């Protein structure tokens, strides 16, 4: 198989509507063997629909899908479909209580299972592709990265000639992401076609030879990555009337805004959050004695590897997880550990890491989710809540965040990922917190929404004098911060106090390597 051959997967003139919404219009795309094609687009641009069509889950209203020149099998004939194309989803499709081998052959086992044959074939695939996971291991015991390898192995075991990777690095640490790129290169070198879907444009530039951009259901750009700049790509994603300077100004101007009291004594009522010697045992990474302060109007970033305790410190301060020692004080008042309700009353807003799990109630409406933190304020003295007051209270927040929905009653579960995250942020801003703890608030969110979300946090700090603790391993999130703490193995390794922060220096610090000369 060579990359110059005929298209392995070819879709032409795809149309798809859901009710009154046009999801895809005249979309064409082709992938050759050995090619890695990037697919980018904002949340709601139609990527998921295209993935569903390519995976044989949804039938297009018009247009054709062809594999190796032949028409694709009918929708629903998953077994034959999987011989051509297999999708590795963002959310793991692994059954945790089954072994690696069983997961690799999930759904494609014959009537009688030969355990030995299944293990042997799994081991053979792992060996051929240089993956290092024992076939008999229980998937519950694997890391996120290893689970993804199992999913890739599953695709290969079914003989798929094209692998769809949907946001593959969203749940991976940086190093694991790098290893994934090696694996993708290995796959393409072996003649497999890869469709790589990502919000991270730098990843696309790194491993994709070609890139296709979806916007509002149309394919607006398809070109070789080598011939494009990052700005070209952003422009294609966002549209012609997107003016780069005006969108970046709110965020960029903040970087320059004077750090309140940088160098001054932290004493006084200006201190919103004081954390002393905080320890916690957590599956997400332990904390071993972290102390920090956040002043009113200040944005403090906390970054590091996923296992370094970045999410843990946010969760503990937000009251979502127990600490095992140390002190958290908000405006001087001690907040007991693991009590989210008490923390909220003390003024701690909390934007959780996993919005699907903690961010919203899927079948309740937008307005109700946004006002969930302020029912007490909206209710009369009998605790009665008028739906009209709820909608009125939610309106300004949803407008400020440009939240797109069919109305205040639309269930949040039906919104796109970026809009769901806006609901979670709006819910937090609603109760005017004096401290906002945000954990990876821009994960899985498109470029424009990302700027908007970060801008709203910056506004809360600047306008409402709220302290913001931004826990993120996404380095570009940290641009809005006044200073950044780097955690390594649950301890503060170093602190960057002078924005703008040097990207490379941050990366080096997260790995626990000291800079030779402090600035």
Name residue 12's beta-bridge partners: 64
Q: How many CA atoms lie within 13 A of 362 on its CB side?
A: 7
The 10 Å Cβ neighbour count of residue 516 is 5
Q: How many whole angstroms separate alpha carbon 308 and alpha carbon 325?
A: 17
Structure tokens at 28: 């064409």
Residue list 239-268, contact with another protein (CB under 8 A)? 239, 241-243, 246-247, 250
CB of 409 to another protein, least distance (A): 8
Stretch that binds another protein, among 131-139, 286-294, 384-392, 458-466 (CB under 8 A): 384-392
Bridging pattern class, strands 62-67 and 7-18: antiparallel
CB of 358 to another protein, least distance (A): 4
Residue list 337-366, contact with another protein (CB under 8 A)? 340-341, 343-345, 350, 352, 357-364
Sign of CA dihedral 259, 265, 271, 273: positive
Closer CB to another protein, residue 289 or residue 387?
387
CB of 355 to another protein, least distance (A): 9
Please tell me whether residue 415 binds another protein under the rule CB under 8 A: yes
Structure tokens at 38: 């990037």
Residue list 275-334, contact with another protein (CB under 8 A)? 318, 320
Name residue 458's beta-bridge partners: none
CB of 15 to another protein, least distance (A): 13
SS3 83: coil
Closer CB to another protein, residue 224 or residue 399?
399
H or E stretch including 210? strand 210-215
Closer CB to another protein, residue 15 or residue 206?
15
Q: How many whole angstroms separate alpha carbon 251 and alpha carbon 255?
A: 7
Count the site residues for another protein by CB under 8 A: 72
Structure tokens at 288: 């071993």
Task: Work out which of 414, 498, 503, 514 binds another protein, going by CB under 8 A.
Answer: 414
Name residue 224's beta-bridge partners: 210
Stretch that binds another protein, among 32-40, 112-120, 375-383, 484-492 (CB under 8 A): 375-383
Bridging pattern class, strands 483-488 and 467-471: unpaired
Stretch that binds another protein, among 113-121, 327-335, 368-376, 504-512 (CB under 8 A): 368-376
CB of 314 to another protein, least distance (A): 12
What is the side-by-side order of every strand in the sheet holding 85-88? 85-88, 162-166, 193-197, 36-41, 210-215, 218-224
What is the side-by-side order of every strand in the sheet holding 333-334? 287-295, 271-280, 325-330, 333-334
Sign of CA dihedral 102, 108, 113, 119: negative
Mask of contacts with another protein, 210-229, x by CB under 8 A? ------xx------------
CB of 238 to another protein, least distance (A): 7
Residue listed under structure tokens 């205040």: 408
Look at the chain and count its residues: 519
Q: What is the torsion angle, in degrees rounded to the nearest 10, for the CA atoms of residue 193, residue 196, residue 202 and residue 208?
A: 20
Compute CA 245 distance to the chain's CA centroid, rounded to the nearest angstrom.
25
CB of 449 to another protein, least distance (A): 7
Name residue 288's beta-bridge partners: 279
Task: Work out which of 203, 368, 477, 482 binds another protein, going by CB under 8 A.
Answer: 368
Q: How many whole angstroms separate alpha carbon 446 and alpha carbon 454?
A: 12
Taking a C-beta distance cutoff of 8 angstroms, is the pair 197, 52 a contact?
A: no
The 10 Å Cβ neighbour count of residue 281 is 15
The 10 Å Cβ neighbour count of residue 388 is 10
Task: Work out which of 101, 452, 481, 485 binds another protein, going by CB under 8 A.
Answer: 452
CB of 56 to another protein, least distance (A): 16
Closer CB to another protein, residue 269 or residue 382?
382
CB of 304 to another protein, least distance (A): 23
Please tell me whether residue 18 binds another protein under the rule CB under 8 A: yes
Task: Work out which of 20, 141, 229, 265 binds another protein, going by CB under 8 A.
Answer: 20
CB of 262 to another protein, least distance (A): 29
Closer CB to another protein, residue 98 or residue 379?
379
CB of 459 to another protein, least distance (A): 12
Mask of contacts with another protein, 483-512, x by CB under 8 A? ------------------------------
Closer CB to another protein, residue 16 or residue 82?
16
Please tell me whether residue 397 binds another protein under the rule CB under 8 A: no
Residue list 32-91, contact with another protein (CB under 8 A)? 43-46, 48-49
Closer CB to another protein, residue 283 or residue 384?
384
């Amino acid at each position: 198989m060579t990359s110059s051959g005929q298209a392995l997967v070819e879709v032409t003139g795809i149309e798809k509507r859901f009710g009154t919404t046009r999801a895809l219009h005249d979309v064409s795309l082709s992938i050759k063997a050995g090619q890695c094609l990037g697919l980018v687009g904002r949340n709601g641009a139609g990527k998921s629909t295209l993935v569903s069509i390519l995976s044989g889950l949804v039938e297009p209203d018009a247009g054709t899908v062809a594999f190796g020149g032949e028409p694709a099998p009918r929708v629903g004939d998953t077994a034959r479909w999987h011989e051509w194309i297999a999708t590795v989803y963002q959310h793991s499709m692994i059954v945790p209580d089954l072994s690696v081998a069983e997961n690799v052959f999930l759904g494609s086992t014959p009537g009688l299972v030969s355990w030995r044959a299944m293990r042997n074939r799994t081991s053979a695939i792992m060996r051929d592709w240089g993956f290092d996971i024992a076939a008999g291991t229980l998937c519950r015991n694997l890391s996120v990265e290893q689970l993804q390898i199992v999913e890739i192995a599953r695709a290969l075991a079914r003989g798929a000639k094209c692998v769809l990777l949907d946001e593959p690095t969203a749940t991976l640490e940086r190093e694991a992401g790098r290893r994934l790129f090696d694996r993708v290169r290995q796959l393409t070198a072996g003649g497999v076609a890869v469709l790589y879907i990502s919000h991270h444009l730098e990843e696309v530039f790194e491993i994709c030879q070609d890139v296709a951009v979806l916007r509002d259901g149309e394919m607006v750009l398809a070109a070789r990555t080598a011939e494009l700049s990052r700005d070209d790509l952003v422009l294609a994603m966002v549209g012609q009337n997107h003016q780069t300077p005006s969108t970046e100004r709110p965020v960029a101007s903040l970087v320059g805004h004077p750090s309140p009291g940088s160098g001054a004594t932290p004493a006084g009522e200006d201190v919103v959050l004081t954390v002393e010697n905080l320890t916690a045992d957590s599956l997400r990474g332990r904390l071993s004695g972290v102390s920090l302060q956040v002043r009113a109007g200040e944005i403090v970033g906390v970054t590091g590897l996923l296992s370094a305790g970045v999410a843990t410190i946010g969760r503990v301060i937000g009251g979502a997880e127990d600490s095992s020692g140390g002190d958290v004080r908000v405006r001087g008042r001690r907040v007991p550990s693991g009590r989210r309700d008490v923390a909220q009353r003390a003024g701690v807003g909390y934007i959780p890491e996993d919005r699907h799990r903690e961010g919203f109630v899927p079948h309740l409406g937008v307005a109700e989710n946004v006002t969930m933190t302020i029912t007490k304020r909206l209710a009369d003295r009998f605790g009665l809540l008028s739906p009209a007051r709820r909608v009125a209270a939610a309106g300004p927040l949803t407008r400020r965040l440009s939240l797109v929905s069919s109305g205040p009653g639309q269930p949040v579960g039906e919104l796109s990922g970026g809009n769901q995250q806006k609901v979670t942020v709006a819910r937090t801003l609603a109760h005017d917190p004096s401290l906002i703890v945000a954990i990876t608030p821009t994960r899985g969110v498109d470029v424009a929404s990302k700027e908007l979300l970060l801008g709203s946090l910056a506004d809360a700090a600047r306008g409402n004098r709220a302290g913001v603790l931004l826990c993120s391993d996404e380095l570009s999130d940290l641009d809005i911060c006044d200073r950044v703490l780097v955690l390594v193995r649950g301890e503060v390794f170093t602190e960057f106090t002078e924005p703008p922060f040097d990207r490379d220096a941050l990366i080096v610090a997260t790995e626990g390597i000291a800079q030779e000369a402090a600035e």
